[in-house]
Amino acid sequence: MAIEAALADRGFEPIVAGTLSAVEDRLGRTLPVAALLDLHLPDGNSVALARSLHERGCKVAMCSGTDVIPDDCDFAASFRKPVIAHDLVRWLEEVTGTGDA
């Protein structure tokens, strides 16, 4: 929730989902500008989702508390859990070209 609040405070519109199926429901056909994905979700890992979003032009970051992000996900930024909200906001501002110049 701290991450969601920090993103909203900086003008981002976070979409929060706790499972891969919830991501599909919440996004529908919408493509986010950027996505932070937990590597392991209750219904599977997010590697295929990360790759799909990246191929469609979404900036992707992945996080994990225990595992290393797979080498074939070198397109994604990597964050170790717990993710510090400020670090994520800074990454989003960099990849979206927003924030203070």
The pLDDT value recorded for residue 77 is 95
Q: How close are the terminal C-alpha atoms of the chain, in Å?
A: 27
**Coil/strand/helix, residue 52:** helix
Q: What are 66-93's pLDDT values in tens digits?
A: 778 888 899 999 999 888 999 999 999 9
Q: What is the pTM of this model?
A: 0.86
- DSSP assignment, residue 11? T
Domains and CATH numbers, the chain: 2-96 (3.40.50.2300)
Q: Are 67 and 43 in contact (CB under 8 A)?
A: no
**Coil/strand/helix, residue 85:** helix
Tokens at residue 42, please? 């209750």
CA distance 95 to 44: 27
Tokens at residue 64, please? 């994990």
